[in-house]
């Protein structure tokens, strides 16, 4: 493999130790980092594998048949994931998002969903439980996911044109099967469904209006289409600023056809700016981490499939929670270690990038998106 390849063994060796503080204080739901940001959202990667090879995430020339993914023994078990999520809930986490890789490739995922659905906040409320998928397996799994307790899904879809979509997923997967998966999810009540489109200049930016037209006409308010600026996640996707189509430009193109008006955010730390069609036919969102960084409100942590805690999508190293989970550490000690890690957090990569002051990553490497989810 070429120099751009980042073997996962390197990520494991680069892991930071999760330290249990000398004074173990109980979690009280009021945890904040050094910039005053609370911890509200935990994104859990359940697998590093995916059946697509999208160029902006897992380019085939790097993640080929010789690429060594994590062995099963390295992955957190469902019991370990649930234990960790329960401790995060004690610190104030209100939302769990299962991701990957492609999370539906993890065997018996509905069992994990059922376990997570039993968790409660300190106030006794169920957690918001959702999942991000490429929808390739959704038609056959939607009902089981819903029955297990999953509340909503987000589907990644970058084009409606079949030839463009097949080229972008790079495994010749048809767009019709993704749309069938969205239909299946809507039929069982996994909605409102969010559909995420990563927009890349000269590749699929001409699909912006067709995507808006299709979901507006066919699903209305049941689907929220969100446009994501192409981001410099990881180091294998060849990112450059001239590949980015700014959200303002995306919005302008849609507004020329369908009049939009802004909406207020539904929650603190929401990543997408919300807009709705003035005729009431649904809404769209814009995630602008390149041109309008939202670091100041970021309340998200990410747990990798092997138990590394990452404090930023653009981080290079995570903290090893698996060592504590598989050692003799008590729940109170692990919760205290999580509190110490978050309390020292000051990550704001996108904001610094926008100021031309983004921090250098060790060896120039950032963690790959398939490893910790988007």
Following DSSP, what letter does each residue of 309-371 receive, concatenated?
A: EESSTT-S--EE-HHHHTTT--HHHHHHHHHHHHHT----HHHHHHTT-PPPPGGG----HHH
Whether the predicted pLDDT of 235 surpasses 70: no
Give the pLDDT of residue 315: 83
Q: What are phi and psi of 88, to 5 degrees?
A: -65, -40
Query: pLDDT band for position 57 (50/70/90)?
Result: confident
Closest CA to 255 of 208, 290, 196: 208
Whether the predicted pLDDT of 35 surpasses 80: yes
- First-to-final CA distance of the chain: 25
Closest CA to 266 of 33, 11, 25, 40: 40
Query: pLDDT band for position 8 (50/70/90)?
Result: very low
Query: pLDDT band for position 238 (50/70/90)?
Result: low
Helix/strand/coil for 89: helix
Whether the predicted pLDDT of 12 surpasses 50: no
Q: 349-361: buried (b, 16+ CB within 10 Å) or exposed (e) per residue? A: bbbebbeeeeeee
Q: Are 49 and 69 in contact (CB under 8 A)?
A: yes
Query: pLDDT band for position 356 (50/70/90)?
Result: low
H or E element in which residue 223 lies = strand 223-229
Mean pLDDT of 221-250: 81
- Integer angstrom CA distances of residue 292 from 62, 286, 296, 351, 352: 30, 10, 11, 8, 11
Per mean pLDDT, which range of 32-46, 141-155, 339-353 is the poorest? 339-353
Give the pLDDT of residue 289: 82
- Integer angstrom CA distances of residue 258 from 39, 212, 251, 253, 282: 37, 9, 10, 9, 11
Whether the predicted pLDDT of 26 surpasses 60: yes
Give the pLDDT of residue 363: 47
Over residues 158-192, the pLDDT tens digits come to 999 999 999 999 999 999 999 999 999 999 999 89
Helix axis angle for 109-116 and 138-148, nearest 10°, is 30
Over residues 262-278, the pLDDT tens digits come to 999 888 778 899 999 99
Whether the predicted pLDDT of 10 surpasses 90: no
Q: Model pTM?
A: 0.90
Closest CA to 331 of 20, 4, 14, 101: 20
What is the spatial distance between Cα 335 and Cα 330, in angstroms, rounded to a whole number? 9
The CATH architecture one would assign to domain 8-372 is Alpha-Beta Barrel (3.20)
The residue extents of the domains of the chain are: 8-372
Whether the predicted pLDDT of 49 surpasses 90: yes
Residue, of 235 and 143, whose pLDDT is higher: 143
Helix axis angle for 162-169 and 175-187, nearest 10°, is 90
Over residues 281-328, the pLDDT tens digits come to 999 999 988 888 778 899 999 999 999 999 988 888 899 999 999 999
Query: pLDDT band for position 2 (50/70/90)?
Result: very low
| E strands present in 81-162 | 95-99, 128-133, 152-156
Whether the predicted pLDDT of 97 surpasses 90: yes
Query: pLDDT band for position 355 (50/70/90)?
Result: low
């Amino acid at each position: 493999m070429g120099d751009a390849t980042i073997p996962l063994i390197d990520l494991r060796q680069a892991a930071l130790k999760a330290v249990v503080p000398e004074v173990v204080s109980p979690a009280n739901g009021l945890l904040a980092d050094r910039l005053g940001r609370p911890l509200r959202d935990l994104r859990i990667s359940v697998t590093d594998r995916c059946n697509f090879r999208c160029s902006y995430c897992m380019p085939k020339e790097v993640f080929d048949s010789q690429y060594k993914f994590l062995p099963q023994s390295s992955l957190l078990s469902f019991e370990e994931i649930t234990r960790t999520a329960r401790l995060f809930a004690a610190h104030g986490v209100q939302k769990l998002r299962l991701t990957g890789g492609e999370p539906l490739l993890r065997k018996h995922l509905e069992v994990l969903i059922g376990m997570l659905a039993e968790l409660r906040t300190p106030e006794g409320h169920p957690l918001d439980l959702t999942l991000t998928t490429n929808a390739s397996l959704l038609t056959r799994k939607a009902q089981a996911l819903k029955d297990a307790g999953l509340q909503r899904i987000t589907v990644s879809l970058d084009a409606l044109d079949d030839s463009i979509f097949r080229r972008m997923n790079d495994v010749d997967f048809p767009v019709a099967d993704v749309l069938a998966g969205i239909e299946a999810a809507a039929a069982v009540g996994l909605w409102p469904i969010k559909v995420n489109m990563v927009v890349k200049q000269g590749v699929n930016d001409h699909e912006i209006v067709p995507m808006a037209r299709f979901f507006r006409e066919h699903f209305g308010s049941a689907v929220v289409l969100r446009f994501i600026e192409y981001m410099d996640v990881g180091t294998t996707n060849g990112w450059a600023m001239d590949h980015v189509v700014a959200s303002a430009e995306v919005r302008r193109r849609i507004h020329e056809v369908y009049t939009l008006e802004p909406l207020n955010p539904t929650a603190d730390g929401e990543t997408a700016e919300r807009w709705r069609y003035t005729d009431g036919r649904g809404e769209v969102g814009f995630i602008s981490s390149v041109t309008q960084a939202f670091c100041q409100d970021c309340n998200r942590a990410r747990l990798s499939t092997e138990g590394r805690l990452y404090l930023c999508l653009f981080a290079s190293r995570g903290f090893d929670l698996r060592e504590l989970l598989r050692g003799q550490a008590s729940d109170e000690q692990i919760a205290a270690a999580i509190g110490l890690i978050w309390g020292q957090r000051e990550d704001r990569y996108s904001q610094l990038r926008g100021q031309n002051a983004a921090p250098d990553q060790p060896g120039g490497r950032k963690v790959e998106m398939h490893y910790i989810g988007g």
